[in-house]
Amino acid sequence: MSSRQNAPCGRKTWPIEQPGTLDGEVIQIGGRDETINVHLKAGEQIYICVTSKAIARSLAPHIFGNAIRVRGVGAWARLESGGWILKRFEIAAFESLDQTPLSKVFEGLRARLAPPEVGRMNPVDLMRQLREE
């Protein structure tokens, strides 16, 4: 009997594929064929992803380094408890995450948003200034 026939309340459930992101530290890269396994550690959770050799080579300098964000398509399955579990994630791209402490980010925002000594700044000019940075 297949697991689909054992679905609760007679409902059939399949993994749902959807674009998304995962954040974490690269802790392992390896493989023997055209798809390379990449292990990302996010807290206590370890995500096992797949990617191409080209992206794996680009990820290599990030191993055991600062956190990154990977983008791609994940296949998620619904647990009986109502939670979700990642079954597969295919990495299409990645980016390094900014390691600036949140307190420093807020200090910078406060400094930029403080009114100038001579009157108030035009809100449109403020938005242009923020976009340029």
Mean pLDDT (whole number) for 43-71: 95
Q: Identify whether 28 is part of a domain.
A: yes
Residues 27 and 45 in one domain: yes
Q: In this structure, which amino acid lies at residue 4?
A: R
Is the pTM higher than 0.75? The answer reads no
Residues 38 and 69 in one domain: yes
Mean pLDDT (whole number) for 16-27: 95
Can you tell me the distance from the alpha carbon of 110 to that of 114, in angstroms, rounded to the nearest whole number?
A: 6
72 or 125, greater pLDDT: 72
Residues 107 and 123 in one domain: yes
Can you tell me the distance from the alpha carbon of 27 to that of 18, in angstroms, rounded to the nearest whole number?
A: 24
Can you tell me the distance from the alpha carbon of 65 to that of 54, in angstroms, rounded to the nearest whole number?
A: 19
Residues 17 and 72 in one domain: yes
Residues spanned by the domain of 51: 8-96
35 or 110, greater pLDDT: 35
Whichever domain contains 48, its CATH number is 2.40.50.140
Structure confidence at residue 19 (pLDDT):
97
Q: 35 — phi, psi (to 5°)?
A: -105, 130
Can you tell me the distance from the alpha carbon of 41 to that of 53, in angstroms, rounded to the nearest whole number?
A: 20
Can you tell me the distance from the alpha carbon of 91 to that of 47, in angstroms, rounded to the nearest whole number?
A: 11
Q: In this structure, which amino acid lies at residue 127?
A: M
The overall longest dimension of the chain from CA atoms, in Å, is: 77
> Does 117 have pLDDT greater than 70?
no
Can you tell me the distance from the alpha carbon of 85 to that of 81, in angstroms, rounded to the nearest whole number?
A: 11
Share of the chain above pLDDT 70, in %: 83
Query: 75 burial class (0-12, 13-18, 19+ CB within 10 angstroms)?
Result: middle
